[in-house]
């Protein structure tokens, strides 16, 4: 996963790079994948990329990224060397982008927000539990199976007065098992600060586990009513709960920016390209929200070689030099990153009707480091 510092370094120094943001390897035949890579190479050359860069990108795309389909790839090459190769989980966001220019587009990387969401998954049963640290669309970063006592767990009827004692003994062992799982989950919560914790499995095991979690982990818990820990169990409910939690987390970050920008009668934020550009030129933007549809706009801004990093025109550049004309969203994102701001790209909610409509991009919204006087 590319980190913010790596993205910022790509934008600070003007230099020609070749870039390709395309679909990752699919489930189709090998010949189809080869034809697709050939097409990417041809289009890069048509866009002015040097042959050595186009060949380097083609070789990178040939390598297996290790992600299930669908996925996307973002590859940068310079002087025949691959300087960045990111495999992104999930389908590609927005159109394919291929070219050779002074600054690579960064919106595709910023749109890959699910990669930044880390969460815990706990599947628990009577005698054991599986605990995983995950990110969406990727292999678990860490996993452990907790084996508990099973000597008295099967609650068969033995009859007579000893039945109640047997049940109490089984319940106590079960409770001890879940206490061990809860201790592990609490430790992982302190260590990783997950966005949420999804818990599934046997209904009684879930109850005992949640009851023994620490307050921090309990606040993050999402209990799924499905016994996924059983052999051959249907995992659809668990997968759906994870996807819904990820969506809610992404939406929450977008809503928070909009809400904070509206505080103090709107003086805590800036809305619209003009006010946001002015705030960026003063390094006052703390968080910037961009609509993903801005990537389709043909409007441009001037990219500068130093602060204030962005301008409307040559007269607005002050003592800096114009080094490129960038699409509006790219220019805003670049200036935000170079002034230490966080950038959030909002995507259409595919469950809403408006996501299927042809609409204009929403205006950019910025939360300011200090309010307008």
C-alpha to C-alpha distance for 296 and 105, rounded to whole angstroms: 12
Highest mean pLDDT, choosing among 1-5, 26-30, 49-53: 49-53
Q: What is the pLDDT of residues 119-158, one digit of tens each?
A: 999 999 988 899 999 998 788 999 999 997 766 555 444 4
> What mean pLDDT is predicted for residues 90-115?
90
C-alpha to C-alpha distance for 216 and 220, rounded to whole angstroms: 7
Q: What percent of the chain has pLDDT over 90?
A: 69
pLDDT at residue 164, as a whole number: 52
pLDDT at residue 150, as a whole number: 65
In the predicted structure, residue 354 carries a pLDDT above the cut 50: no
Could you tell me which residues are beta bridge partners of residue 365? 271, 289
> What mean pLDDT is predicted for residues 196-205?
95
How far is CA 181 from its chain centroid?
28
Could you tell me which residues are beta bridge partners of residue 223? 199
pLDDT tier, 170 (very low <50, low <70, confident <90, very high otherwise): confident
pLDDT tier, 263 (very low <50, low <70, confident <90, very high otherwise): very high
Closest CA to 305 of 337, 335, 275, 342: 335
Q: Does residue 99 sit in helix, strand or coil?
A: strand
Matching residue, tokens 């025949």: 80
Q: How many CB atoms lie within 10 A of CB 272?
A: 12
pLDDT at residue 231, as a whole number: 74
pLDDT at residue 146, as a whole number: 93
What pTM does this model have? 0.86
Closest CA to 329 of 312, 345, 309: 345
In the predicted structure, residue 58 carries a pLDDT above the cut 50: yes
Q: How many CB atoms lie within 10 A of CB 134?
A: 19
270 and 278 Cβ atoms separated by less than 8 Å: yes
216 and 189 Cβ atoms separated by less than 8 Å: yes
pLDDT tier, 187 (very low <50, low <70, confident <90, very high otherwise): very high
Closest CA to 221 of 172, 188, 259: 188
pLDDT tier, 357 (very low <50, low <70, confident <90, very high otherwise): low
pLDDT at residue 332, as a whole number: 98
C-alpha to C-alpha distance for 54 and 47, rounded to whole angstroms: 10
> What mean pLDDT is predicted for residues 226-241?
85
Determine the number of helices (DSSP H) and then strands (DSSP E) in the chain.
10, 16
C-alpha to C-alpha distance for 83 and 103, rounded to whole angstroms: 13
Count how many residues are written for the chain.
373
- Any long-range contacts for 87-95 (C-beta under 8 Å, 24+ apart)? 87/24, 88/24, 88/112, 88/115, 89/114, 89/115, 89/135, 89/136, 89/137, 89/138, 90/114, 90/136, 90/137, 91/23, 92/21, 92/22, 92/23, 93/292, 93/347, 94/292, 94/295, 94/296, 95/295, 95/296
pLDDT at residue 229, as a whole number: 78
In the predicted structure, residue 104 carries a pLDDT above the cut 60: yes
In the predicted structure, residue 235 carries a pLDDT above the cut 90: no
pLDDT at residue 37, as a whole number: 94
Strands of 71-78's sheet, edge to edge?
Answer: 81-89, 71-78, 17-23, 97-101
Peptide bond into 308 cis (omega under 30): yes
> What is the chain's mean pLDDT, rounded?
89
> What mean pLDDT is predicted for residues 164-187?
82
Q: Which of 5-9, 34-38, 78-82 has the least mean pLDDT? A: 5-9
pLDDT at residue 115, as a whole number: 80
């Amino acid at each position: 996963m590319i980190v913010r510092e790596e993205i910022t370094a790509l934008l600070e120094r003007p230099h020609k790079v070749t870039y390709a943001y395309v679909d990752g390897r699919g489930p189709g035949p090998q010949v189809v994948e080869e034809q697709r890579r050939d097409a990417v190479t041809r289009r890069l050359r048509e866009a002015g990329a040097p042959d050595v860069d186009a060949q380097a990108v083609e070789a990178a795309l040939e390598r297996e990224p290790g992600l299930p389909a669908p996925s996307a790839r973002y590859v940068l090459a310079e002087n025949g060397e691959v300087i960045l190769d990111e495999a992104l989980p999930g389908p590609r966001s927005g159109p394919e982008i291929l070219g050779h220019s002074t600054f690579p587009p960064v919106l595709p990387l910023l749109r890959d927000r699910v990669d930044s969401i880390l969460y815990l998954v706990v599947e628990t049963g009577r005698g054991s539990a599986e605990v995983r640290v995950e990110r969406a669309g990727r292999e678990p970063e860490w996993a452990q199976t907790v084996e508990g006592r099973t000597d008295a767990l099967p609650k068969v009827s033995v009859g007579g007065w000893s039945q109640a004692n047997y049940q109490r003994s089984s319940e106590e062992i079960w409770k001890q098992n879940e206490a061990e799982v809860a201790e592990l989950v609490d430790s992982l919560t302190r260590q990783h600060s997950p966005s949420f914790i999804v818990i599934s499995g046997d209904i009684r095991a879930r109850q005992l586990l949640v009851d023994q979690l620490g307050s921090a982990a309990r606040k993050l818990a999402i209990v799924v009513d499905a016994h996924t820990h059983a052999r051959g169990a249907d995992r659809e409910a668990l997968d759906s709960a994870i996807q819904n939690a990820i969506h809610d987390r992404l939406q929450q970050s977008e809503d928070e920016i909009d809400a904070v920008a509206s505080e103090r009668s709107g003086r805590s934020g800036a809305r619209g390209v003009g006010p946001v550009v002015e705030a960026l030129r003063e390094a006052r933007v703390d968080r910037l929200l961009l609509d993903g549809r801005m990537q389709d706009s043909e409007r441009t801004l001037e990219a500068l070689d130093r602060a204030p990093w962005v301008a409307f025109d040559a007269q607005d550049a002050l003592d800096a030099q114009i080094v490129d004309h960038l699409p509006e969203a790219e220019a805003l994102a670049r200036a935000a990153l170079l002034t230490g701001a966080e950038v959030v790209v909002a995507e259409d909610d595919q469950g809403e009707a408006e996501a299927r409509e042809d609409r204009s991009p929403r205006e950019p919204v910025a939360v300011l480091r200090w309010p307008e006087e």
